[in-house]
Structure 1
Amino acid sequence: MATIVIFGASRGVGLGCSIGLPDPGDTVFLISRTRPPSLDRSDQITRIWIPADLSIPKMAATTVSEAIGDRAVDFLFYNAGIWEKDAFEPAYSFEQSTIEEMEQIIQVNLLAAILCTHQLIPNLKRSVNPRVVYMSSLSGLDNSGAPEVANTASKFGLRGVVHALRECLRDYRIPVTALNPGNIAAEIDYDAGAEAAVQTYDGTQIPMQDLVLLLRCLRQLTRVSCVKEIDIPAMPDLYA
Structure 2
Amino acid sequence: MSKNYIIFGASQGLGDAFVKGLPIKGDTVWVVSRTRPKSLDINDGVHRKWLPIDLSSQQQISDLKEALKDIALDVLIYNVGVWEKRGFEDDYTFDQDEIVDIANLININLTSTITYIQALLPNLRQAKNAKIILIGSTAGLDHTNNAQVSFVTSKFGLRGIANALREHLRKDGIPVTCINPGELAAEVPYEEGAEKAIHLYEGTRIPVQDIVAIVQCVLNLSSVSCVKEINIPAITDLNA
- Which TM class, normalised by the smaller chain length? over 0.9
Equivalent residue number for residue 106 of structure 1: 106
Q: How many residues align?
A: 239
Distance 2:238 2:143 in 1: 12
* Percent of matched pairs sharing the same residue: 47
1:63 and 2:35 aligned? no
Structure 1 residue identity aligned to 2:18: C
Deviation at 1:239, TM superposition (A): 4.8
Distance 2:197 2:62 in 1: 37
The CA RMSD over aligned residues, in Å, is 1.0
Deviates more, 1:128-137 or 1:89-98: 89-98
Deviation at 1:88, TM superposition (A): 2.8
Distance 2:84 2:47 in 1: 34
Question: Is this contact kept in 1: 2:178–2:228, CA < 8 A?
Answer: yes
Equivalent residue number for residue 19 of structure 1: 20
Equivalent residue number for residue 209 of structure 2: 209
Equivalent residue number for residue 47 of structure 2: 46
Unmatched tracts of structure 2, length 5 or more: none
Q: TM-score by structure 1 length? A: 0.97
Question: Is this contact kept in 2: 1:5–1:28, CA < 8 A?
Answer: yes
Question: Is this contact kept in 1: 2:143–2:239, CA < 8 A?
Answer: no
Q: TM-score by structure 2 length? A: 0.97
Distance 2:25 2:173 in 1: 26
> Deviation per CA, 1:124-168, whole angstroms, max 9, x where unpaired?
100111000101100111232211111111111010000000000
Distance 1:22 1:223 in 2: 19
1:233 and 2:233 aligned? yes
Distance 2:114 2:216 in 1: 23
Question: Is this contact kept in 1: 2:145–2:239, CA < 8 A?
Answer: no
> Deviation per CA, 1:53-99, whole angstroms, max 9, x where unpaired?
0000x213222222111100001000011110122332211111111
Unmatched tracts of structure 1, length 5 or more: none
Q: Which structure 2 residues correspond to residues 85-234 of structure 1 after superposition, within 5 A?
A: 85-234=85-234
